[in-house]
Amino acid sequence: MSNSNRPVTEVAAGILLDAEGRFLMGQRPEGKPYAGYWEVPGGKIEAGESVFAALKRELQEELGIDIESSEELIILEHDYPHAYVRLHVSIIRKWTGVPTGCEGQALSWQILGDALPTVEPLLPAAWPMLEKLKHLKI
């Protein structure tokens, strides 16, 4: 729970998992808080929107893909200087289209497992998500 009475920013983030056990990370574009940091794709949930609808919209905008379904992995909260964020993280195994950096952002497929990501720096809230991912059955 928020311990500081700050408004909570609800965010949907999606881990695209391919058949070879790789997942996709993207680099935050210029102009956003934490520009240059790596994250999993996603963005803020709009008023009245479901987590899935937000994820579908954000992944269309950011990656140019269409997702069919998602499974909740974890919900986690992080108190950043710019916002108190509640992150709804989902796994996505099926999509159509080829993920592309539609906002000019770099993308990197990472191997699922014990190894640290080969890109850095990561958003602070990415670490508990990656820890949870390690225990995922592909």
Ligand X SMILES: Nc1nc2c([nH]c(=O)n2[C@H]2C[C@H](O)[C@@H](COP(=O)(O)OP(=O)(O)OP(=O)(O)O)O2)c(=O)[nH]1
List interacting residues with ligand X (CB under 6 A): 11, 13, 32-33, 39-44, 78, 80, 83, 85, 87, 123, 125-126
| Alpha helices (H) in 3-124, listed in sequence order | 51-63
User: Measured at CB, which residue is nearest to ligand X?
Assistant: 43
Work out how close the CB of 11 gets to ligand X at its nearest, in angstroms, rounded to a whole number: 4
32 vs 93, beta carbon nearer ligand X:
32
E strand or H helix that includes residue 85? strand 84-92
Work out how close the CB of 53 gets to ligand X at its nearest, in angstroms, rounded to a whole number: 13
E strand or H helix that includes residue 86? strand 84-92
42 vs 99, beta carbon nearer ligand X:
42
Work out how close the CB of 94 gets to ligand X at its nearest, in angstroms, rounded to a whole number: 20
| Alpha helices (H) in the chain, listed in sequence order | 51-63, 126-134
3-class SS at 90? strand
